């Protein structure tokens, strides 16, 4: 009897996680300015200013992600993002008299994650950074500047360490 109860509880927990993931995906899809098919967003995921978020086809965003699309954020097709992503799209002014004025476009440049990019777990992407097509960002990296196309980049701050081979052996 205990095994049956444990199985039922495990199945209910699995169904609850699946429903939460589906609802989170639907919420992000409906609130984003545009989104392609095959979007999957893990639960929980917080999106600030979702109207400035554009999502391509076949995008996966892992659970526990926090995304601030202030200034605009484009995630292109076939992007895989691991759990715990933080995207901080906004900046504050550096002058003491206007520190909390964040609505200016020059303070909040748009962010772009290129087609086919892979973003590891617990990566932070800051305003002014972008990730080139087919690049791979290692887990725990902090992206503070643009990353070129087709490179492996890691570290704090994130820097390219080598190219991605164009063909498989």
Q: Which residues of 47-77 are buried (b: 16+ CB within 10 A; e: fewer)?
A: bebbebbbbbebbbbbbbbebbbbbbbbbbe
Residues 6+ apart with CB under 8 A from 127: 70, 71, 88, 89, 90, 91, 108, 109, 111
Strand partners of residue 118: 80, 136
Can 46 be counted among the known catalytic residues? Answer: no
Set 22, 92, 98, 145: catalytic member: 92
Q: The tokens of 134 are what?
A: 């087919």
CA distance 67 to 81: 12
Residues designated catalytic? 92
């Amino acid at each position: 009897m205990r095994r049956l109860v444990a199985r039922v509880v495990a199945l209910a927990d699995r169904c609850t996680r699946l429903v939460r993931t589906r609802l989170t995906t639907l919420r992000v899809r409906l609130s984003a300015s545009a989104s392609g098919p095959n979007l999957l967003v893990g639960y929980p995921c917080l999106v600030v200013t979702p109207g400035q978020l554009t999502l391509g086809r076949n995008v996966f965003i892992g659970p526990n992600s926090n995304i601030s699309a202030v200034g605009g954020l484009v995630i292109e097709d076939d992007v895989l993002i691991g759990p715990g992503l933080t995207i901080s799209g906004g900046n504050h002014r550096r002058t003491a008299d206007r520190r909390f004025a964040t609505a200016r476009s020059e303070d909040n440049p748009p962010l772009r994650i290129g087609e086919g990019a892979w973003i590891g777990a617990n990566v932070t992407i800051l305003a002014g950074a972008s990730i080139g097509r087919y690049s791979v960002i290692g887990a725990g990296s902090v992206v503070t500047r643009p990353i070129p196309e087709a490179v492996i980049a890691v570290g704090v701050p994130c820097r390219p360490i080598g190219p991605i081979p164009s063909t498989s052996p």
